[in-house]
Amino acid sequence: MATQHSRSAAKLMISPAVLLLLGWMIIPLSLTLYFSFLRYNLLMPGTEEWTGFTNYRYFLTDPAFFAALWNTLLLVGGVLLITIVGGTLLALLLDQPFWGQGIVRVLVIAPFFVMPTVSALVWKNMFMNPVSGLFAYAAKAVGLQPFDFLAQAPLMSIILIVSWQWLPFATLILLTALQSLDSEQLEASEMDGANYPNRFVFIVLPHLARAITVVILIQTIFLLSIFAEILVTTNGGPGTASTNLTFLVYAQSLLQFDVGGGSAGGVVAIILANIVAIFLMRMIGKNLDA
């Protein structure tokens, strides 16, 4: 099928994308790499000097570094868990026939359309506020002490908010995968006596494998650099309980306009993210093949 003609045509067609992405990657990356070896503070221009690995040393020995690393993994893992399990359940539910399917689908998809800053603010002030939030109101109504979400369980609260934002995405992809499941296979196994859990595990789940892989890959990419939600709700605190790697880079660099330090942090973050990506591809990449 792949003739000589189409091979060279293919190379030609893929080249704009490759060239652009190459440029997008290399130019800022090399500048960032360059800056990371400088002592460069925006507020004191003209005093740049080569400092070798000093910025890296400071970033990696920051007491918050390991906490941020751990938080990042928890954040990504937590959201993935909730959205995939929740998304599967929701997809199963929405796949059943019922009245008003279209409307409920839109209701479920809606959170994905809201800007992250807005959803974070809404959750923080209208729901999680221990004095005037809805959760507090509900707790008081049944006689319980309101729970201070953002102070006592900051990372969990952020995981909750982000899961709410990404659940629609996971549900959508899993639902469409589900809807193309051949029902005859299911019916045949049912007539053979397989009960629901067995049918689910041995027929439905493998079919969903590819869709789940897609969800994991795309979401991981976005979840590794969650930033707006943390900035708006907890500012990384209390302490460093809700600081992830991206926020650490922000606090180190933008807040102090320390371009050198921030660049070093950025490079470290890229390396770590790529490690995660390679891991992921090793584990589930085979699901992508037809």
Partner 1 sequence: MARNVTTTRKATVTVVAWTIGIAIFFPILWTILTSFKTEAEAIASPPSFLIFDWTLENYATVQERSNYFRHFMNSVIISGGSTVLGLIIAIPAAWSMAFVPTKNTKNVLMWMLSTKMLPPVGVLIPIYLIFRDMGLLDTRTGLVIVLTLINLPIIIWMLYTYFREIPGEILEAARMDGATLRSEIIYVLTPMAVPGIASTLLLNIILAWNEAFWTLNLTAAKAAPLTAFIASYSSPEGLFYAKLSAASTMAIAPILIMGWFSQKQLVRGLTFGAVK
Partner 2 sequence: MTTTYRAFLGATALSIVASVASAETLTIATVNNGDMIRMQGLTADFTAQNPDIELEWVTLEENVLRQRVTTDIATSGGQYDVMTIGTYEVPIWAKQGWLVGLNDLPAEYDIDDLLPAIRGGLTVDGELYAAPFYGESSMVMYRKDLMAAAGLEMPEAPTWDFIGEAARAMTDKDNEIYGICLRGKAGWGENMAFLTATSNSFGARWFDENWNPQFDGEAWSNTLNFYIDLMNDAGPPGASSNGFNENLSLFQTGKCGMWIDATVAASFVTNPNDSQVADQVGFALAPDNGLGKRGNWLWAWSLAIPAGTQKADAAKKFVAWATSKEYLALVAENEGWANVPPGTRTSLYENPEYAQVPFARMTLDSINAADPTNPTVDPVPYVGVQFVAIPEFQGIATAVGQQFSAALAGQMSAEDALANAQALTLREMTKAGYIQ
Radius of gyration of the chain (CA): 24
Instruction: Note the Cα 163 to chain centre separation in Å.
Output: 9
Q: Which of 6, 8, 101, 132 binds partner 2 (CB under 8 A)?
A: 132
Site string for partner 1, 200-229 (x = CB under 8 A): -------x--xx--x--xx--x--xx-xx-
Instruction: Write down the least CB distance from residue 152 to partner 2, Å.
Output: 7
Site string for partner 1, 43-82 (x = CB under 8 A): ----------------------------------------
Instruction: Choose one: 20-28, 100-108, 129-137, 267-275; the region binding partner 2 (CB under 8 A).
Output: 129-137
Omega of the bond leading into 130 within 30 degrees of 0 (cis): no
Q: Does residue 193 touch partner 1 according to CB under 8 A?
A: no
Considering CB distances under 5 to 8 angstroms, the limit depending on partner class, which of partner 2, partner 1, none binds residue 45? partner 2
| Residues 6+ positions from 288 with CB-CB distance below 8 Å | 210, 213, 214
Under 8 Å between Cβ of 135 and 248: no
Cβ proximity to partner 2, 23 vs 238, nearer residue: 238
Burial class (CB in 10 A: 0-12, 13-18, 19+), 154: buried
Which residues, numbered 227-246, are part of the site for partner 1 (CB under 8 A)? 227-228, 232, 245-246
Burial class (CB in 10 A: 0-12, 13-18, 19+), 149: buried
Q: Does residue 130 touch partner 2 according to CB under 8 A?
A: yes
